Structure 1
Amino acid sequence: MAAKFQKPTGAFVAASWTALFVGAVVYLLGLWNASMQLNEKGYYFTILMYGLFAAVSLQKSVRDRLEGINVTGIYYSLCWVSLLLSIALLAVGLFNATLANSEKGFFAMAFLLALFGAVAVQKNVRDIGSDKAEAALDGATTDEA
């Protein structure tokens, strides 16, 4: 039996997209303006992309399991390891960076905001898609009766 999820409000959808874009754009602007070598910038950019992908993939796996969709244990575990690894890699990179503590905090908070936004956006997209699919099924069932 599939779990029933409530359709998200417009305000929550807007807040989720805003968190994703603000977190990612601010992180990338900070990276653009940072006085570090290009290979360091590439490292932090890759961690952002890896973290966003891992967060969305983990959220999807958790949701699939809640809805009774088969998710292999290895994939589910890999999602958790990837998300934790992206956070750990950012933490290690920032710990060893020659940045001011305020800059380190800026990157960490922008990264976490972007991760939160990605998870919330993925949840909203899925909830809205489920709601539309359910409405279409209800309409088809009503028409057939």
Structure 2
Amino acid sequence: METTLVLEKEAVENLLPQKFPFVMVDKMYAYTETSLVSGLKIQNDNIFSSDTLFLEAGLIEHMAQSVALHTGYQFFLKNEIAPTGYIGSIKEIEIKKLPQINDTIQSTVTILQEFAGITLVDIVTTLNNEQIASGQMKTVLAK
């Protein structure tokens, strides 16, 4: 999938509730009301790196923060402050391959349902156009 960079690291970090060293998204390539494509270049100082690999927990956190980025950007476009969100559930996560340090991963978030601050999403993470992880998450906005 060829994508166009929309937001880089500093702008992305301003839309996320997480702060360094816990930020697991550093690019936004595409956004629509029902989808988002995010990215992360894995650095050797990443807290979810071990030896040369980016661990499962890091992949799952990257996926969750990609959902948070969609919400944050949605509120930014309305010129509103995004409320804090929480993971309500994680379902059917499948990790096929772990990326390595200096790899750049991309995640595509697709909104399946959104109602009353609860969002159900499908997420697919790729490395060099190869699917390495997928799953569903339900997030809940704090009131």
Shared fold (TM-score greater than 0.5)? Answer: no
The higher radius of gyration belongs to: 1
TM-score by length of 2: 0.27
More strand by share: 2
TM-score by length of 1: 0.27
